[in-house]
Chain A
Amino acid sequence: MRVLVCVKRVPMTGGTIVLTDDARAIETRHLGFTISPHEECGVEEAVRLVEAHGGESVVLTLGSAEAEEQLRDAMAIGADRAIHVVTDGQEWDPQATASAILDAIRDDEAANGSFDLVVFGNESADAGNFQVGVRIAHALGRPIATGLKALTVEGGAARCEQEVPGGRDVYALPLPAVVTVKEGLNLPRYPSVPGKLRAQRKPVETRTPERPAPRLEMTRLVVPEGDRKQAEVLGEGAAAAPHVVEVLRDIGVLT
């Protein structure tokens, strides 16, 4: 089977978020980059499906030239090749993102046949638009199930389990289909050293479409204030335990 997984490069912010002077981006000079944990599980799932059923897994990103790093990471885990929709690093809105990814999918499918499964994260780590996968499913005319915590492919259909309060809802999708997944779907493997070396030689196809005018246009970022406080230190080491017990009694969780 052929599986495509879409990932987005995002900064690895630590304890605080610092913005650039124009407040239109996160200051990333001292930060590393990664992809959403949801998407990491998507990559792992694509690789496992191809290990089990044969075929090809392809990883795609729309992002700056530096986002090749995230494609190589995915190929180190086992993705076979990559498609890089290269941008100048500006934010693309969800409609523009979906339409550029769609063009890439259509071109790849024209050459290599349909993807049985196109895999997205449930939401991107930074923007959290909850929609790129749904838009692409509509444009491709394929069914979509979202927020999956379990996925089994058998006999031309995908059994999709979504976590809901009180249990799991199951959808049965005929292939080809689109899914969005969540962390917890699997435990992604760590890349091996040979895997990383192999990834350096795997092919990356690049495309450079024009960025359309955004229809959801970010104008400014704001770090929410409010919950900034400084903790009251109750003490050090085991000697502080009675103070903790006192707090727990005061708020009524210990009687």
Chain B
Amino acid sequence: MSVLVYLEHAEGTVDEPSLQAATVASSLTGGDEDVHAVMASDTVSLALEGALPVEVVHVAVHDAFGSYAPLAIAEAIVELVGRLGAAAVVGPGTERGNEVLAHVAALLDLPLAANCVSVGGPAVTRVRWGGSLLEEARVDAPTLLLTVQPHAVAVEPGAGDAPSVEAFTPTLSEGALALRVVERVGAATGGVSLADAKVVVSGGRGAGSEEGFAPIEELAGLLGAAVGCSRAVTMAGWRPHTDQVGQTGTKIAPEIYIACGISGATQHMAGCKGAKRILAINADREAPILQSADYAVIGDLHEIVPAI
């Protein structure tokens, strides 16, 4: 029996969440079974970068993989599961990893445990509420399907030998060939991207109004930071949703997150768990955010922020 891991890649370079998934996949074999990886590519001559903790890499080669085609990838995975008799399929818990594995689960009519942080056979621990809560669960299935929550496990590099690479041409349905990206629209650029920013300065309901963001923008400009906000702000129409930090907004991972007039609801904090440090500026000493922040300044943000 073997374990199969689905790897996302950009021109052969496997991304971090996929390496984390591969680490979990190899922990499932108990050492004496093979870990197989599957990657989708539109070219046979895929140049694999870096060490992988797997024995064999199966490259599904098809023109359809010239752009992202979730159902086609899922069909290729299902074909391989049948051929290998895989005991488990593991994927990265990214948006796309979850989408591909959901298609696999639907095709095989098997349960899927998404965003697991630890896996011991059929007993898994997975995240709920974007990471604010954990769930212990049991999966009842002949083939275990799961995705791994990004940045929950440390990557263990491969044991040495480079994996052997085997290309195959998957049989794809018409529906799978039709379901693909037909166009890429460029992003509205300008400013620092929230997800990658080293410093983020955010305002919440405490900012009071759209104009209340002026000192926050000024401080952000000074620090070369991105401006963020809470959902209370997006709902009020003071800032666009692209600025929203949280469970249903952007996940950030800056060196420091400066949160002004934000109470610290679990759904907001789910978006800034990756921040190295948090500084809260809040009028209320009892605000929940003070229990997740490293530093706090108590008082009116309209007086404090311009003074920095």
Q: Which of B240, B266, B295, B306 has the most chain A CB within a 10 Å cutoff?
A: B295
Q: Is B20 an interface residue (CB 8 A)?
A: no
B297 touches A244 (CB 8 A): yes
Pick from B106, B138, B178: contact of A131, CB under 8 Å: B106
A215 touches B198 (CB 8 A): no
Check A138/B107 contact, CB under 8 A, given A229-B294, A231-B293, A253-B199. yes
B137 touches A217 (CB 8 A): yes
Q: Which residues of B contact A143 (CB under 8 A)?
A: 175, 178-179
Q: Is B231 an interface residue (CB 8 A)?
A: yes
B182 touches A231 (CB 8 A): no
Q: Is B162 an interface residue (CB 8 A)?
A: no
Per-residue CB contact flags for chain B residues 127-154 toward chain A (1 = under 8 Å, else 0) read 1111111111111110000010000000
Q: Which residues of A contact B33 (CB under 8 A)?
A: none
In the bound complex, CA of A221 to CA of B136 (Å): 6
Q: Which residues of B contact A210 (CB under 8 A)?
A: none
How far, in Å, is A231 (CB) from chain B's closest CB? Answer: 4
Minimal Cβ-Cβ distance residue in B for A223: B133
Minimal Cβ-Cβ distance residue in A for B103: A134
Pick from A135, A167, A169, A232: contact of B295, CB under 8 Å: A232
Describe B's contact surface by its main secondary structure. Answer: mixed
Q: Which residues of B contact A217 (CB under 8 A)?
A: 137-140
Q: Is B55 an interface residue (CB 8 A)?
A: no
Q: Select the stretch in B36-44, B80-88, B108-116 that faces chain A.
A: B108-116
In the bound complex, CA of A180 to CA of B134 (Å): 24
Per-residue CB contact flags for chain A residues 77-102 toward chain B (1 = under 8 Å, else 0) read 00000000000000001110000000
B184 touches A167 (CB 8 A): yes
How far, in Å, is B291 (CB) from chain A's closest CB? Answer: 6
Q: Is A197 an interface residue (CB 8 A)?
A: no
Per-residue CB contact flags for chain B residues 296-308 toward chain A (1 = under 8 Å, else 0) read 1111100110111
Q: Which residues of A contact B181 (CB under 8 A)?
A: 169-171
How far, in Å, is A123 (CB) from chain B's closest CB? Answer: 8
Q: Is B90 an interface residue (CB 8 A)?
A: no
Minimal Cβ-Cβ distance residue in A for B287: A15
Q: Select the stretch in A51-59, A61-69, A104-112, A182-190 that faces chain B.
A: A182-190
Q: Is B23 an interface residue (CB 8 A)?
A: no
Per-residue CB contact flags for chain B residues 181-223 toward chain A (1 = under 8 Å, else 0) read 1111111000000010011000000000000000000000001
Minimal Cβ-Cβ distance residue in A for B123: A219
Q: Which residues of A contact B265 (CB under 8 A)?
A: 13-15
In the bound complex, CA of A244 to CA of B295 (Å): 9
In the bound complex, CA of A233 to CA of B280 (Å): 9
Q: Is B292 an interface residue (CB 8 A)?
A: yes
A221 touches B134 (CB 8 A): yes
Q: Select the stretch in A1-9, A201-209, A235-243 that faces chain B.
A: A235-243
A15 touches B180 (CB 8 A): no
B291 touches A94 (CB 8 A): no
Pick from A127, A224, A248: contact of B131, CB under 8 Å: A224
Q: Is A193 an interface residue (CB 8 A)?
A: no
How far, in Å, is B200 (CB) from chain A's closest CB? Answer: 11
Q: Which residues of B contact A221 (CB under 8 A)?
A: 128, 133-136
B290 touches A244 (CB 8 A): no
In the bound complex, CA of A131 to CA of B95 (Å): 11
Q: Which residues of A contact B112 (CB under 8 A)?
A: 94, 129, 131, 216
Can you sample 9 A-B contacts with CB below 8 Å?
Answer: A13-B267, A128-B115, A131-B102, A143-B178, A145-B179, A170-B181, A215-B141, A231-B290, A232-B294
What 4 A-B pairs are tightest by C-beta distance, nearest first?
Answer: A15-B288, A184-B241, A241-B307, A138-B106
Known: A17-B132, A213-B140, A228-B291. 17 other contacts (CB 8 A): A94-B112, A123-B98, A127-B128, A139-B106, A143-B175, A144-B179, A161-B185, A167-B184, A183-B234, A214-B140, A222-B133, A229-B294, A230-B290, A236-B299, A241-B308, A244-B279, A248-B256
